[in-house]
Amino acid sequence: MRIKIIRIIIIGLFVLIVADLIYVQVIRGQYFYHLSANNRIRIVPLEGWRGRIEDRHGNILADRRVAYDVMVAPQGLHDRQGLFRFLAKVLDIDQKKLEKKYAQKKYALFAPVVVAEDIDRDKVIILEESKYLYPSLIVQEGFRRSYPLGKNSSHVLGYVGKINRVRKKRFKEYGYSPQNIIGYSGVEEYYDAYLKGGEGGIQIEVNSRGQQVRLLSLKEPTTGQDISLTIDSDVQQIASEALEGETGAIVVMDMDNGEILGLTSAPSYDPNIFIDAAKQKRISILFNNPSAPMLNRAIKGLYPPGSVFKVPVAIGALDAGKITPHTTYNCKGYYELGGTKFRCAHTHGPENLIESLAHSCNVYYYRLGLILGADMIQQYARQLGLGSLTYIDLPYEESGVVPGRRQRSLRRRERWYAGDTLNLSIGQGGLLVTPLQLVRMMATVANSGLEVQPHVIKAIGGTAVEQYDFKRNVKIKKEVLETVQKGMRAAVTNFSGTAHVLDLEELYVAGKTGTAQTSGEKLSHAWFVGYAKGEERNIAFCVFLEHGDSSHNACLVARQLLLGMQAKEIL
């Protein structure tokens, strides 16, 4: 009887085991199979090479150069002390430092650890010759980004570096992995998807201690696409030299098709230092510098345009039919409104529109502002592209602010006064623009109403990019713009014109100066925004000096720029 009970219990136990075997092996088999594959398969990523960046003439702006890294493979590392002593001697690095680096970076037996990056060629030879002594020593040939123009191209190109935490999160779905090199700011960031090489990798089988057992498969990494820019490296260099020692920005754009020939911002930085991991200190100095060398002032810096804004005000007043080109106002040196005197730079006497642009008479524009009204000024400023992004193909562009009645009441719950209109009409009072916006505005005026799209891309992988080759007509009468052109030309050609220094031989230059007051004790911003029609091409350009005092300084820089370009036969 009791034997029977024992028999039933035994049957029950075996049924339980069989049921569990079927559950684990058949029903959940797939899941466990997956886990076992994960156990043994490791993927070592191989970074693809980034594409080159060229300027419009095919000069290399961003290249890859060969670099040699020293790696130590943990698998098969027997004489650890000896190897590190040898490495320390050859590389002239402290042995403790090397060992520390190795210990920090080592994560698996099969993955070699980089202990020294980018070593000199003669050291490579020494190491290669002694490789047979140390089987786990590897000298790996790789590529590094290099920027031949260095500082002069940094704000257009940006730089590359290891992907950071923010971008890792943002780009996770686009196939970026933690070890990827990624572009930061400039073209490197904007066209990263094209420049980036396709990641390859080797799939290896490891055992429980992480030692490589065999190679399962290899996927060759691919090289990214080469990119051509509209940038002219000569212009880039001339512009950078012109801004040497200053703070500010220069933008040079082909006004017929919107191609950016040169774009600089000063102070600048050397993008090459981001490639070398050993220069961390210099990188943090860059980011902490109070004069913000990392800031691209040409597209991200927001400044009051000062008198440059008189151009849209004049256009507005003419286009709206409030004045004719012959409307004359008398300048007494100030304009009085509600008991406050709004000053002018000089006492100009009676001036018509052309003269007012040439001499930059504030009083004339106070009056225009009043008869036009803040709403209309805002409307025309927007029509000419201020207060909105230019959608240039560079990241982190700012849109700027055109103040008006509505913004004022919505944002600050304050009223708009006539005095605000006066400030606005000479480009002050909360108006903020980027140098690039002014260049585009100037190109529109110079083209008599045809607005172009600023861009830096010319071709990707040999295929021309045509997406930016479109033009838009602004809703402003052609005659109006032609009148304003005359006024801006007069500013250069008149002996008393504000930009007379730019009256060059064999070159049609026109433009508008600006001296924008800033808050506090600091010097004014100096502007010159204009266009030049040369034999080769017509350009619109902007010279901006942050706290550069008088606009005359900007004109001098512009002169240097134009002469330089003329000498290189770019114009």
3-class SS at 484? helix
- Which residues here bind other proteins, judged by CB under 8 A? 2-3, 5-7, 10, 13-14, 16-18, 20-22, 24-26, 28-33, 35-37, 39-40, 205-209, 213
With respect to other proteins, which residue has the nearer C-beta, 213 or 464? Answer: 213
Angle at 399 between CA 270 and CA 524, to 5 degrees: 70
Cβ(359)–Cβ(551) below 8 Å: no
Rounded to whole angstroms, how far apart are CA atoms 110 and 75? 6
Shortest CB 143 distance to other proteins, Å: 34
Quote the CA–CA distance of 197 and 43 in Å, as a whole number. Answer: 18
Nearer to other proteins, 18 or 218 (CB): 18
- Output the six-digit token pair for 530: 């204009």
- Strand segments, DSSP code E, in 25-117 are 41-46, 53-54, 60-72, 113-116
Identify which of residues 18 and 66 has a Cβ nearer to other proteins in the complex: 18
Pair 113, 106: CB distance under 8 Å:
yes
> Please, what is the minimum distance in Å from the beta carbon of residue 104 to other proteins?
21
We find the least distance from the C-beta atom of residue 436 to other proteins, in angstroms, to be: 56
Q: Which is nearer to other proteins, 206 or 252 (CB)?
A: 206
Minimal distance, residue 26 CB to other proteins, in Å: 6
Write down the least CB distance from residue 17 to other proteins, Å. Answer: 5
If you write DSSP's letter for every residue of 187-250 in order, what string do you get? HHHHTHHHHSPPPEEEEEEE-TT--EEEEEEEE---PPPPEEES--HHHHHHHHHHTTT--EEE
Give 29 or 82: the residue with its C-beta nearer to other proteins: 29
Q: Are 214 and 450 in contact (CB under 8 A)?
A: no
Q: How far is the CB of 4 from other proteins (least distance, A)?
A: 9
Residue 542, amino acid: C
Kindly state the smallest distance separating residue 207's Cβ from other proteins, in Å: 4
CB of 157 to other proteins, least distance (A): 46
Q: Strand locations in 111-169, DSSP E?
A: 113-116, 137-146, 159-162
Between 7 and 96, CB nearer to other proteins: 7
Under 8 Å between Cβ of 55 and 229: yes
List of residues 6+ apart from 335 with CB closer than 8 A: 341, 342, 344, 362, 363, 366, 367, 422
Closest contact distance (angstroms) between CB of 8 and other proteins is 11
Residue 34 vs 89, nearer CB to other proteins: 34
Q: How far is the CB of 39 from other proteins (least distance, A)?
A: 6
Q: Give the C-alpha separation, 272 to 541, whole Å.
A: 28
Name which of 81 and 208 has its Cβ closer to other proteins: 208
- Cα 279 → chain centroid: 22
**Token pair for 284:** 């943090």
Nearest to 253 by CA among 382, 504, 448, 442: 442
Token look-up 């713009």 returns 481
Where does residue 95 rank: exposed (0-12), middle (13-18), buried (19+ CB within 10 A)?
A: middle
Quote the least distance from Cβ 77 to other proteins, whole Å.
17
- Complex with other proteins: residue 9 or 285, whichever CB lies closer: 9
d(CA 345, CA 363): 9
CB of 37 to other proteins, least distance (A): 8
Cβ proximity of 351 and 359 under 8 Å:
yes
Q: Cβ closer to other proteins: 106 or 162?
A: 106
Cβ proximity to other proteins, 3 vs 410, nearer residue: 3
| Inter-residue contact 63 to 143 (CB < 8 Å) | no
User: What's CA 218's distance to the chain center, in Å?
Assistant: 36
Q: Which is nearer to other proteins, 209 or 415 (CB)?
A: 209
